[in-house]
Chain A
């Protein structure tokens, strides 16, 4: 037992999960500590700070690759976090696919991270890292694949500035998973009230810092997925509409659209409603949506 172990017991840190224990919620891993949140897109890097009270404090944004921005901002980033821990939202170099009949054995989610070959079999590609989310009501799953080399580079760049990744996630994918869970919870509530009243189609649209994910769900089934990274820049979200067009065609008139953006104030939901008057668009974006999802809020 070292002095640091005794110190951890005395400041109760030994009774909390370790900061890089990805199976625990962010709030439990970093109670009353500031942490840095970074979003990486192809065009640039945005960052914010999660304060000790858990609020998101405004950060900044710079154009350029992550390495370039990190070289410029590394020291400043270090000052924005108490222990050097940061959460990364990766919105480039990823692929989200809709898969069927993936293994749902206990511990499968952990296995897909540590040994994707064992979990995915022939679907697994060498050098990629995976995350999966299963539809609880059907045999479909959303599978995220990311370039492992890109993640290694990010981790290496962070280490240069004494920063450590507490979580590297795909922001758009995480936002879509949150939406699917909200839809599933809403369906459960409707089914409890009326067993036949939870039908219809829902199209979940997630826009996150240039990336778009759209998932068509009909009744309990996930039918179709559209995924495009680095599609638009800034608030110019018009390029999203052509991506949604085939999905809306198959969903048909009357399908509800559930829209979430990385932050409030984009105005895209209103634009979407104008363009698709036959569909009801509901925006569920909340302030600092991306950062909230990244920190399990």
Chain B
């Protein structure tokens, strides 16, 4: 079929349509637009999902941090407890040889004498020697009670008392000395000199 005839005044600059192959340009443009829109939508949903996941992980992280802190706190408490227990074990182990000495001191006290403070400390540089400290109240003369206690220690445990220092305030006596096993007395005496 041919187009109908035409009598109108012709426009001289009528151009030819662009080649059909060039339709790829606008089609490509629209494809890119559609693709960009699709990608945008995809990225938007992924962003939303990632944001939700981030919040979820942040909450998870916070709860885990809290659990970790609680665990650390508990662990430090346990460590402290353990240290205390070790110290106690050490003290028990360390004080085991001294306990008979303590019992001897307690038993040597007369009925009217009162121990106010008793300390037995091993010498850091000589484990066999003990730094002995005793604060007590007793009826006068207080030297009787002190001598009795030192004698009991020497008789039952073979510890000799050296470097004796005592101060008296009323009927209260504060006494300090170094208890040295009798086998090593010569060394201690030599060292004392």
Query: Does A55 belong to the interface (CB within 8 Å)?
Result: no
For B11, list chain A residues within 8 Å (CB).
20
Taken residue by residue from 3 to 23, chain B's Cβ proximity to chain A (1 for < 8 Å, 0 otherwise) reads as: 111111111001111111011
- Flag if A170 contacts B17 (CB, 8 Å): no
Chain A interface residue number, banded:
35 or more
A168 at the interface (CB under 8 A from B): yes
Distance (Å) between the CB of A104 and the closest chain B CB? 15
Which of these, B5, B14, B20, contacts A173 with CB under 8 Å? Answer: B5
Complex contacts, A133 vs chain B, CB 8 Å: 5
User: A16: CB under 8 A from chain B?
Assistant: yes
Q: Write out, one digit per residue, whether chain A residues 136-178 have a CB within 8 A of any chain B CB (1) or not (0).
A: 0000000010100001100100000000011111100110010
Whether B17 pairs with A15 at a CB distance below 8 angstroms is: yes
> Counting CB contacts under 8 A, is B26 at the interface?
yes
| Least distance between A50 CB and chain B CB atoms (Å) | 13
The B56-83 residues at the A interface (CB cut-off 8 A) are none
A95 at the interface (CB under 8 A from B): no
B1 contacts chain A at the CB level, 8 A cutoff: yes
Does B103 belong to the interface (CB within 8 Å)?
Answer: no
Within 8 A of A (CB), among B162-193: none
Nearest B residue (CB) for A133 = B5
B6 contacts A167, CB within 8 Å? yes
- Inter-chain contact A294/B9, CB cutoff 8 Å: no
Q: Which residues of A contact B22 (CB under 8 A)?
A: 9, 15
Other A-B pairs beyond A113-B6, A155-B9, 4, CB < 8 Å: A18-B17, A22-B10, A151-B8, A169-B5
